[in-house]
Structure formats: structure tokens, C-alpha cells
Amino acid sequence: MQEIMNYVDGQMVPGTSGRFTENSNPATGEPASRVPLASKEEMDAIIEKAAAAQVKWAATNPQRRARVMMKFGDLINQHMDELAELVSREHGKTLPDARGDVQRGLEVVEVCMGAPHMLKGEYMNDGGPGIDLYSMRQPLGVVAGITPFNFPAMIPLWKIAPAIVSGNAMILKPSERCPSTSLRLAELLKEAGLPDGVLQVVNGDKEAVDAILDNETIQAVGFVGSTPIAQYIYGRAATNGKRAQCFGGAKNHMIIMPDADLDKAADALVGAGFGAAGERCMAISVAVPVGKETADALRERLIPRIEALKVGPYTSEEDVDYGPVITAQAKDRINGLITSGVEQGADLVTDGRGFSLQGYENGHFIGPTYFDNVTTDMDIYKEEIFGPVLSQVRMDTYEDALNLIIDNDYGNGTAIYTADGDTARDFANKVNVGMVGINFPIPVPLSYFTFGGWKKSAFGDLNQYGPDALRFYTKTKTVTARWFSGIKEGGEFAFKAMD
């Protein structure tokens, strides 16, 4: 069994709390690693080390900090296959999906190479009589990132890159389920020239999270995970005077209009609904066809596509569409929700329960599951399943479909498939969701825009990556300056105010 370390002051060190959690291989169910869980005292000591390192790093000019990002980006590219292998081994997702995980994180690193421009302040000459005003963006100090298991490379990079290039030190607490990629990224950052102590990667559970939230040195916290935990972290961070951006769960809908290309819509739904075993906050988990004819035709197209999906381990020599879910507990929960859908009256079209793979009978696999005639009072509609389950909710009109999304508690992502530009424009303007796709199933913005949901999918004023990230990790100082004319008399200055 692999012994996982923490990354402290530029080196791998064992945990000191004496507490551990064990992880299994998602594909086999066999024990895989033992991860240390930091205590409050351990976390407090590491935060103190980060604070000491941050002072000199903040004094390093933005151009030099950006050069570290440039070298870091090169190293990520050089080690792409290694990093993807780490992601797949711990998470279970396919290698192509894992490479995409790393690539989307790398794109944020690339944007952060332009930090000298994005960190510039503003200047006004003669804002008043003889008065100049200018603003500066300065780092917060020590910040923290708490990241989930489902994107072990991408989301840590979304936190690390903008926080560090802005001049902060960062405490990263990755998911204890998938810590290895973050630890390897920390080593690559050191190789790129990051001083020891500026990034500390510490494994832990709720005790470590609470230590972060209660430590007075931590100035800001970024989190991605479930909505209940996002609310908890946001509330406790705010109570303790910290900035917080906390991203929670999702229930992403796709409307399919009668004029849509149904083959393209069906392909999009299968990829967006079942890719990464549905373990992503931008997965489309609810298909909303408008009209009975559209719904029947969509169902007819979905069934063969879903039945053709290949499920297996990332090490399979055959092409695999998706792998196992993260843990046996996650598998049990998803199977329980599927059963509840049947009991509550949904039409189970394809059933992924009981899926078994020869040689991997103890793996955490679930077959692709598709429900039709789902209603809003069912648990499979109300809860974020976070598994390979697609629900179809039939609506009679476009207005009904739009209001279904507007009334949902979550507002992370949504999409519409239509050939009508006016309908698409109306949808984009009216829907109360943070990220919208038009004939595009997973509307994750490019890294020079910004990522963020609405409603119970996000807590905090600023989004992830893009310009918002550098605003989140810096504070603005504005200087109002007036100088006086001076005439040297008798070795001293006599000053006269300028009118």
C-alpha cells in the first residue's frame, strides 16, 4: 500500500497526527494508499511556515512571478502523460479524460502568465487641484484551497496558479481520495522556481478544514464540492472575516426543442451525461425535450447510444467511455437513488445496477442508467446523483421547460439545443444559471473568461479563474497624493501649498 505524504517547505514529509484514511483502487476495490489526516496543531504550524515564505514572495515583482508560471506550464506539458496516469490511477477516469483534466488546469496557468498586465492598478493625473490618484493590487497574504476528488489536476490548478502569481502563499488541501496529482504538481512548481513554503499541500479531513477556517492568518478560502459543505465553509469563513468563494452542487438541464438536430442532441447528452461516470459538476443530468414527439424521438436515439457505451478500467486495452465511480460508498448511494427512481414511478429504460466486469468484480462500476418520465418530486430529480444516470423530464412547451430550470435550486450550468436563434437568445437572457450552452452541452468557459454558477451552486461574489480570480486573491489600495512646491531658504525648505 502506498504511503501518501504532505508537501511542506519544498519537500515530502510524513503526517504527524497519527490519523490516516485508506483508499481503494476504484477499478478493483483493492487497498491502494494510506493518506495522513492533519491535526489542527499540524495545520497551524504549516500555515505559519507559509506566512514566513509569503513575505519575500510578495516582494518579488509580478513579471518574475509570471516567469515561474511560464516554466511551470512547460513542465506540465512535459509531464502530461505522467500526470494523467496519476489522475486515472486514483480517480478511475479514462486516460483521455484525465489528460483533459490536466489540460484545462494548464490553460489557467497559461492565462496567469499574463498576470503583470492583470495586476496593474489605475492612475489619474490631476483628479483635483494638484492631486493625483492611483490604485495598487496587493496580495492578501496566506490563502487556502480546498479541492474535490473529481478533478484532481484541474481544480487545484485553478486555485494554485492565480493565488500564487498574485503574490500569495497557498495552503492546498486536496481531496484525501485523490491527493497524488496535487503533490506532484507541487514538485513541478518547485522545479519551475517557486520558493519553498509558498505552496504547502496538506492532506486532511474536517479537522484540517476547520483549522483553515479558524486560523487568523488565512485571509481567503476557495472551495469546490457539495452544496452543504460549500454553505458550511462559506458561513464559517465569513464569520471569521475571510474572503470565500465556494462552489457547490449542480443539477444541469438541457432543453431539446422540436427544431433541434436530434442526432447531435443525443450525442451531446450521452457525452455530457455519462462522461467521467457523471462525476462532474457540469454534467448534464436532466434532458428536457419539448413536446411528446420530440421526447419519443429523442428516447429512440438515446437508447442505442447508451447501450453501446463501454465501461471499464483506464488500463483496458480497448476504448473505454468511462470508468468506475470513486468509492464503494458512492456506488451504493447511486444504486440506492436508481432504486428510488423505480419505486417512485419513473420509467427505467436502461438499468446500470448490478453491472459487473470480469476480473473487476469488486470494482466500483455502475452501468449507464437512463430514466424517462421523471417528475420533479422524485429523488432522482431533486438530488445531485453524481453518477452515470440521465433523467428525462418531458415538458409540453418551451416556457414550461424554461421555468423548470428557473425554479430549480441549482444554477451551475444549462444548455439548449435548437435551430432557432430567437429562442436561443431568449433562453440565454432569461435563464437564471451562471453558465449557458447554446447547441453546446458542457458550457465550461475558456480560461480567460471565468467559471461560476448561481443560486445554490455558488456562494461568494467572485468566480474562479480569469480576471475574477486575480481580483479575489488581491486587495485594492488607493492612494490620493498631493505634492507641494518648495523653495530652499537657509538650508531648509519653506513649503507653499499649490492652489
Nearest to 380 by CA among 465, 286, 445: 286
Q: In angstroms, rounded to a whole number, what is the distance separating the alpha carbons of residues 287 and 256? A: 7
The pairing of beta strand 458-459 with beta strand 413-417: unpaired
* 2-248+457-479 CATH pick, 3.30.70.100, 3.40.30.10, 3.20.20.140, 3.40.605.10: 3.40.605.10
Amino acid 499: pLDDT: 43
The H-or-E segment that residue 493 falls in is: strand 492-496
Q: What are phi and psi of 71, to 5 degrees?
A: -65, -35
Cα atoms in the 13 Å half-sphere on the side-chain side of 148:
19
The pLDDT, as a whole number, for residue 322 is 97
- By CB neighbour count within 10 A (0-12 exposed, 13-18 middle, 19+ buried), where does 239 fall? exposed
C-alpha cell, 59: 516582494
* Largest CA-CA distance found in the chain, in angstroms, rounded: 97
DSSP H or E run through 91: helix 80-91
Give the closest residue to 106 by CA, choosing from 465, 490, 477. Answer: 465
In angstroms, rounded to a whole number, what is the distance separating the alpha carbons of residues 135 and 127?
Answer: 13
**CA distance linking residue 232 with residue 244, whole number of Å:** 11
Q: What is the pLDDT of residue 146?
A: 98
Looking at 215-327, list the stretches that DSSP marks H as alpha helix, in order from N- to C-terminal side. 227-239, 262-274, 292-307
CA nearest to 194, candidates 69, 89, 357, 22:
69
Q: Are 288 and 401 in contact (CB under 8 A)?
A: yes
d(CA 237, CA 235): 6
Tell me phi and psi for residue 356, to 5 degrees.
Answer: -140, 145
HEC string of 426-478? HHHHHCCCCEEEECCCCCCCCCCCCECCEECCEECCCCECHHHHHHHCEEEEE
The list of the chain residues with pLDDT below 50 reads 494-499
pLDDT of residue 484: 82
- Could you give the CA distance from residue 493 to residue 496 in angstroms, rounded to a whole number? 10
Backbone angles phi, psi at 169, to 5 degrees: -95, 150
Cβ proximity of 256 and 395 under 8 Å:
no
- CATH architecture group of domain 252-438: 3-Layer(aba) Sandwich (3.40)
d(CA 224, CA 156): 10
Q: What is the pLDDT of residue 128?
A: 86
Question: How far apart are the C-alpha atoms of 38 and 210, rounded to whole Å?
Answer: 11
Those residues with Cβ within 8 angstroms of residue 237's Cβ, 6 or more apart along the chain or in another chain: 213, 221, 243, 244, 246
Angle in degrees, CA 129, 133, 135, rounded to 5: 175
Give start and end residues of each alpha helix (H) in 92-142. 95-112, 115-118
Which are the contacts of 492, defined by CB distance < 8 A and separation ≥ 6? none
Listed residue (480, 478, 477, 460) closest to 469, CA to CA: 460
Question: Are 385 and 335 contacting, i.e. CB atoms less than 8 angstroms apart?
Answer: no
How many Cβ atoms from other residues are within 10 Å of residue 267's Cβ?
A: 15
Cell triple for 227:
452544496
- DSSP H helices in 286-441: 292-307, 328-343, 379-382, 398-407, 421-430
Side chain identity at residue 300, one-letter code: E
**Closest to 25 measured CA to CA, from 178, 155, 175, 225:** 178
Residue ranges per structural domain of the chain = 2-248+457-479, 252-438
How many whole angstroms from its chain centre is CA 373? 31
Residues 55/75, Cβ–Cβ less than 8 Å = no
* CA-wise closest residue to 221 among 154, 165, 172, 280: 172
Q: Catalytic amino acids?
A: 281
